[in-house]
Amino acid sequence: MAQRKRKETAQDKKRPEAQAYIAGAGTVVDESVTETLKSNFMPYAMSVIVSRAIPEIDGFKPSHRKLLYTMYKMGLLDGPTIKSANIVGRTMQLNPHGDAAIYDTMVRLSEGNGALLHPFVASKGSFGKAYSRDMQCAAARYTEAKLAPISAELFADIEKDTVDFVDNYDATMKEPVLFPVTFPTVLVNANMGIAAGMASSICSFNLKEVCETTIAYIKDEDINIADTLPAPDFSIGGELLYNREQMEKIYETGRGSFKVRGTYVYDKANNCIDIKSIPPTTTTEAIIEKVIELAKAKKITEINDIRDETDLSGLQITVDLKRGTDPEKLMAKLYKMTPLQDSFACNFNVLIASTPRVMGIKEIISEWVAFRSECVRRRVYYKLSKAKDKLHLLKGMQKILLDIDKAIKIVRETANEKDVVPNLMIGFGIDEIQAEYVAEIKLRHLNREYILDRLEDIEKLQKTIEEMQSILDSRSKIKRIIVDELTEVMEKYGAERKTAIVSTYEDDADTDDGPVDDSPVTLFFTRDGYFKKITPQSLRMSGEQKLKDGDKLVQTIEAANDYDLLFFTNAEQVYKSRVADFADGKASVLGDFVAGKLEYDEGESSIYMVATKDYSGFMLFVFDNGRIAKVPLSSYETKTNRKKLIKAYCGKFKLHSVFHFDSDRDIILKSTGGRMLIVNTASIPLKSSKENGGIAVMTQKKGQRIYTVKNYTAGKLENEHRYRTKNLPAAGSLAPSGGASQAKLNL
């Protein structure tokens, strides 16, 4: 139980309501921990999610929106830059979280920092660099800023009731709830945030491709997004290792990851490599430090020197090579062993109506189109209302202009000024608003030209009103307006991709790293997916194997450092690696968590490990329903270095267990019905198709399934012929009631 006790303070006594506090002082409230969390933590968590960390459909978090709106109200769309400190100070009228946090937000949105594909803040001075940890921005008093031209698309018609406004924190100003953005900014600029219990990570896409995709979606909702939006695009450039199937999964679910790597140029004259771009998830310092660490550990021996040569012309890391070094082979090593190649994890979590939702690209575009349609509808309705008001005034004036002499006579014969409007209302049958408007007409305007112009204005207004009303009545016309605006944005601000797309199959054909040490090792694999590689010397000196609480060893394999590893998962996939890719371990450590090291998909876990040098033998997949599939291990061998194979086994039936055998042997199956069956794997046909469903081996009654599967050695069971059969499938025989034979089998 959690206890909360309120103590009276001296300040409390000075308050008028102090008596009320004193009355409850000293009371101990018994409250369960769950109730305390609900009343204290949950409101905080929701505040962080809704008001701080997760972007909304306009692509902005509240801190971004408050800063940009302040700059808009300061008139910074046009004119020269002003001191950043001035902007930060003014923004505190909307965002009272301190000048440092506001300035950090401005830095990330700026052109100078380079974090965004299309920055919203034009900057002057040192704003640091997104790709460098040590290149920090100058203080706000030294830098200047204004809104970039593309920011005009954020505020288009914001004064025409396109979005809702709310009070700021002290109710002295109004601020927009969302921006009426004319293009899907939520996809164009990268956005990350960590809330309480959830996070968001949205990669950036090319503006032109996003606009084209949105237009295609508006015209046909059944489009394949990947046809017009091939892959993300980053401000820092680099190369994206493209796998269409993987990308389509991210587009559909909003989750997943892909690899991005830096680009380089080989300078033959100076025998050096100039790295020109890096992944957006790392920094130049992190790469240089890792290379130096590998060089000291003698894992990379081809490098003489590495240094950061970044200057005003842009990023550059220079690597001096030793004579005779193959630059392509070295870069293959650097990609593999350093952050020069890294994964970008996607989590498209966006706030929709204050509710966080992880959405795919098509769903995000759908929500944005709905939001933008409402903005356009509200803008047209606002203009329609203004046009109707103006038409109302002109129609009142029309009645008076038809008989100007009568109007003049009424005004001249009215004794008091306050009676002019009522008398005009009575004389011409118009309302007060119309009469006020007419009474303010200057004498110089009572000429023929003015009268004819006003009558012409009435006709134009009537046509405009009809057009706007037809727009409000037609969803297709609203969508046509959105398409026209997207086309205009695309023509104004569209640019070529900065991140090149490289097929993963091109990347798989990496240059071989050379001969690998073939010294013997012992491999250990646990039920929870931890892997250890221990040398014979270390194993002789080792004590008990350290394991995670509740975990246990399930496989121990004698192998060598040059073996390949195959990790089968519960998602019908195989992840391939090599023993040499794992560092030598000790019995006293937990080992490597394979799912993390090989970057499994979310919710995926290991179920079986195979270590092989020549891909001999076969895999045996035993399913709950008594079917068994036999697949040659060579079916999993690939000519390229592909790291992941999908559809590794049949997903139609629930998998019970997996085995790798070098040759045919006896296995014994036991069902939940108590029956046992001895089967030789030679009786199961070998099929090269990895996802074949195998054959029925042990028949199961309704509600029963395979309970255990074990290797069987002749002689372990009395009367073992009872459990063998010539024909498959078979039901097997009931297990003996005695415990001796079963104890031998450990069934």
Write the CA distances from 452 to 276, 341, 398, 433, 456, integer angstroms. Answer: 68, 73, 10, 22, 6
Owner of token pair 């559909």: 252
Under 8 Å between Cβ of 67 and 105:
yes
Q: For 84-101, give the DSSP string.
A: HHHHHHHHTTT--S-HHH
Cβ atoms of 539 and 585 closer than 8 Å: no
For 208-229, the three-class secondary structure string (H helix, E strand, C coil) is: HHHHHHHHHHHHCCCCCHHHHC
- d(Cα 621, Cα 695) in Å, to the nearest integer? 11
Tokens for 185?
Answer: 């900014």
> In this structure, are strands 500-503 and 239-242 parallel, antiparallel, or unpaired?
parallel
What is the β-pairing status of strands 121-124 and 28-31?
unpaired
C-alpha span between 207 and 182 (Å, rounded): 12
Distance separating alpha carbons of residues 734 and 490, to the nearest angstrom = 74
Tell me the two tokens of residue 325.
């070094």
Q: Report the distance separating Cα 578 and Cα 580, nearest Å.
A: 5
**603 dihedral zone (left: phi>0; alpha: psi -120 to 50; beta):** left
DSSP string, 493-558: H----SSEEEEHHHHHTPPP-------EEEEEEETTSEEEEE-HHHHHT--SPP--TT--EEEEEE
The amino acid at 404: I
Q: Are 352 and 49 in contact (CB under 8 A)?
A: no
The structure tokens 């771009």 sit at 277
3-state secondary structure 447-468: CHHHHHHHHHHHHHHHHHHHHH
Residue 598, Cβ neighbours under 10 Å: how many? 21
Report the distance separating Cα 681 and Cα 692, nearest Å. 16
Which one, of 25, 31, 23, 24, lies nearest residue 8 by Cα? 25
Angle at alpha carbon of residue 649, lines to 646 and 650, rounded to 5°: 115
**DSSP run (H or E) holding 659:** strand 655-661
- The CB-side HSE value for 223 (13 A sphere, CA atoms) comes to 20
Closest CA to 711 of 661, 673, 672: 661
Looking at the DSSP bridge assignments, the partners of residue 521 are 559
Please give the positions annotated as active site.
142
Residue 564 in contact with residue 641, Cβ under 8 Å? no
Structure tokens at 264: 């380089």
* Residues 106-144: b if buried by 16+ CB within 10 A, e if exposed: bbbbbbbbbbbbbbbbbbbbbbbbbbbeebebeebeebb
Spacing of C-alpha 585 from chain mean position: 34
Q: How many CA atoms lie within 13 A of 51 on its CB side?
A: 11
Pull the structure tokens for residue 460: 């134009």
Beta-strand runs (E) in 527-645 = 530-534, 553-560, 564-569, 574-578, 592-593, 606-612, 618-623, 627-632, 644-645
The phi-psi region of residue 59 (left if phi > 0; otherwise alpha if psi is between -120 and 50; otherwise beta) is left
